[in-house]
């Protein structure tokens, strides 16, 4: 194919972001409150945001970006949807926190149970990290066993037990096994490659009677987007049943996103426990864990496994969450539309890369996708690591300068919102073609 010379996007004017980042570094470790925001993997400095509406972000210098992170998932309806803002505004005058039970916590629990039928009882917490930490504690209390199995490149928040072979920012920054996690804790976390059923069977057999829980992202978003292969989730379900292991689906990313009932509905597999976050707060800090009643009734005060939270079930967070979840429940058609739009984005990206002779792997499930800068298929962490992360960094910057806001690391997924229209798909694809060429000098 004959190509004209690549166009280079003009540098963005980011003086206020640059100044804020310099200030932030004096007061906040690395200048950010969550490592992946620091842009370490892609170069440059982070963009500080000012406001957002629908598909668009506006930074503190007035630049606008089409958003494909959506706060790492929760903004499935785009930013600041009126139904959520209205619910929050209506809730505010009654109090920002009671530290006592409220009606909305009951309504939220009922809603979650209706949408995710494997959840018979649910406890609200304040983040995905709290949800996963609590879930494994409960699984340990229930089984009387200590060890857990997790998968290389899966991320379950920053609880000690999970910072072994962890994905997301830990992987990007080269600290998948974090200092500060004691040997004792690390010994109880067994890790295996994703999508490798015999490896799981082997590790269970070697540790027979010692494994309390097997936790996974049923569709992984934290080594980039990786789908479970045919029969894999069912195989894990069977192994857990056979060996009395609590199967935990960490649906902090996939819950209410891949389907109303999450990945477990999409793939037709019933876990024993589920962890949730992000979307259920509509952008407010919320998480939840739940599952079979006989397991969840071990949680205090019903049972002896202690877990608590001053702000858990916060009235503003539950108002936002109920509004967003109710909308999702009442509009099942939006999942087909999200899927169609995301397929256009993913297929279009794959085609552009192919036309340029790059043949990059683009993985997609529903409204999540990732472009891996490798021509090899990606089914696990070792495959994901074939990616050319330098080229990814150049592509990221070239997209940013064209007003497209992607996850600032290869080992993350992109999240599509209902605010992305067919016209905006074209805007993305035009930028993608130019940025791919700029990043590779084609
Ligand atoms: C699958 C998964 N589990 C758990 C977490 C932790 O959630 P949080 O960042 O809200 O603590 C995340 C994201 O960060 C996640 O993607
Ligand atoms: N992959 C993480 C969760 O989705 C990224 C968000 C974060 O850690 O700040």
Give per-residue pLDDT as tens, 406-438: 999 999 999 999 999 999 999 999 999 999 999
pLDDT digits (tens, 9 = 90+) for 229-276: 999 999 999 999 999 999 999 999 999 999 999 999 999 999 999 999
**The pLDDT of residue 351 is above 60:** yes
**Helix 232-243, helix 197-206: angle, nearest 10:** 10
Section 293-311 average pLDDT: 98
- Ligand 2 centroid – CA 72 distance (Å): 6
Q: Do 319 and 88 contact (CB within 8 A), yes or no?
A: yes
- Ligand 1 centroid – CA 221 distance (Å): 10
> What per-residue confidence (pLDDT) applies to 9?
77
Section 393-415 average pLDDT: 98
CA distances from 158 to 165, 204, 395 (A): 12, 24, 28
pLDDT above 90 covers a percentage of the chain that reads: 95
Write the residue with the smallest CA distance to atom 1 of ligand 2.
168
Q: Do 303 and 294 contact (CB within 8 A), yes or no?
A: no
- Ligand 2 centroid – CA 157 distance (Å): 8
Query: Is residue 172 in contact with ligand 2, taking CB distance under 6 Å?
Result: no
Q: Determine the distance from the C-alpha atom of residue 205 to the mean position of all C-alpha atoms in its chain, rounded to a whole number.
A: 31
Does the annotation mark 278 as catalytic? yes
- The ligand that comes nearest to the alpha carbon of residue 411 is 2
Of 246, 441, 425, 430, which Cα lies nearest the Cα of 345?
Answer: 425
CA distances from 89 to 52, 82, 94, 317, 319 (A): 17, 10, 10, 11, 9
**The pLDDT of residue 6 is above 70:** no
Query: Is residue 251 in contact with ligand 1, taking CB distance under 6 Å?
Result: no
**The pLDDT of residue 35 is above 80:** yes
> What per-residue confidence (pLDDT) applies to 231?
98
At 63, is the secondary structure helix, strand, or coil? coil
> What per-residue confidence (pLDDT) applies to 1?
55
**The pLDDT of residue 8 is above 90:** no
Q: Report the C-alpha gap between 233 and 241 in whole angstroms.
A: 12
Q: Report the C-alpha gap between 260 and 254 in whole angstroms.
A: 10
- By CB atoms closer than 10 A (0-12, 13-18, 19+), residue 201 is middle
- The ligand that comes nearest to the alpha carbon of residue 409 is 2
Which of 150, 251, 253, 280, when mutated, tests ligand 1's pocket best, judged by the most ligand atoms within 8 Å of its CB? 253
Q: Would you state the structure tokens that stand for residue 153, as one six-digit string? A: 């490149």
- Ligand 1 centroid – CA 440 distance (Å): 33
Does the annotation mark 155 as catalytic? yes
Section 35-43 average pLDDT: 95
> What per-residue confidence (pLDDT) applies to 46?
97
> What per-residue confidence (pLDDT) applies to 391?
98
DSSP code at position 30 = G
**The pLDDT of residue 176 is above 90:** no
Q: What is the ipTM of this complex?
A: 0.99
């Amino acid at each position: 194919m004959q190509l004209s010379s690549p166009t280079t996007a003009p540098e963005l004017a980011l003086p206020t972001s640059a100044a804020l980042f310099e200030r932030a570094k004096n007061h906040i470790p690395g200048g950010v409150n969550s490592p992946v925001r620091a842009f370490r993997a892609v170069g440059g400095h982070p963009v500080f945001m000012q406001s957002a509406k629908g598909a668009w972000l506006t930074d503190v210098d007035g630049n606008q970006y089409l958003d494909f992170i959506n706060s790492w998932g929760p903004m499935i309806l785009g930013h600041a949807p009126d139904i959520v803002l209205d619910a929050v505004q209506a809730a505010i005058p009654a109090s920002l926190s009671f530290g006592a039970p409220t009606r909305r916590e009951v309504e939220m629990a009922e809603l979650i149970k209706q949408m995710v039928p494997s959840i018979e009882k649910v406890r609200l917490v304040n983040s995905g990290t709290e949800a996963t930490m609590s879930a494994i504690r409960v699984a340990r209390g229930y089984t009387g066993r200590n060890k857990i199995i997790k998968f290389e490149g899966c991320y379950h928040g920053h609880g000690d037990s999970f910072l072994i072979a962890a994905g997301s920012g830990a992987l990007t920054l080269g600290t998948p096994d974090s200092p500060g996690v004691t040997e004792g804790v690390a010994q109880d976390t067994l890790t295996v490659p994703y999508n490798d059923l015999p490896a799981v069977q082997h590790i269970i057999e070697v540790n027979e009677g010692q494994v309390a829980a097997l936790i996974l992202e049923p569709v992984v978003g934290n080594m980039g987007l990786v789908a479970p292969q045919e029969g894999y989730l069912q195989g894990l379900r069977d192994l857990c049943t056979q060996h009395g292991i609590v199967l935990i689906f960490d649906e902090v990313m996939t819950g209410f996103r891949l389907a109303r009932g999450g990945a477990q509905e999409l793939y037709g597999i019933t876990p024993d426990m589920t962890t949730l976050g992000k979307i259920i707060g509509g952008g407010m800090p919320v998480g939840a864990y739940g599952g079979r009643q006989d397991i969840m009734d071990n949680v205090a005060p019903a049972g002896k496994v202690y877990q608590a939270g001053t702000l858990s079930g916060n009235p503003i967070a539950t108002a936002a969450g109920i509004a967003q979840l109710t909308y999702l429940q009442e509009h099942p058609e939006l999942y087909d539309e999200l899927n169609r739009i995301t397929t256009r984005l993913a297929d279009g990206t794959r085609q552009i890369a192919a036309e340029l002779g790059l043949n990059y792997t683009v993985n997609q499930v529903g409204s999540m996708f990732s472009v891996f800068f490798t021509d090899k298929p990606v089914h696990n962490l070792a495959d994901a690591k074939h990616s050319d992360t330098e080229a990814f960094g150049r592509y990221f910057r070239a997209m940013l300068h064209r007003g497209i806001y992607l996850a600032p690391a290869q080992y993350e997924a992109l999240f599509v919102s209902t605010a992305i229209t067919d016209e905006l798909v074209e805007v993305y694809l035009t930028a993608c073609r130019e940025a791919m060429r700029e990043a590779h000098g084609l």
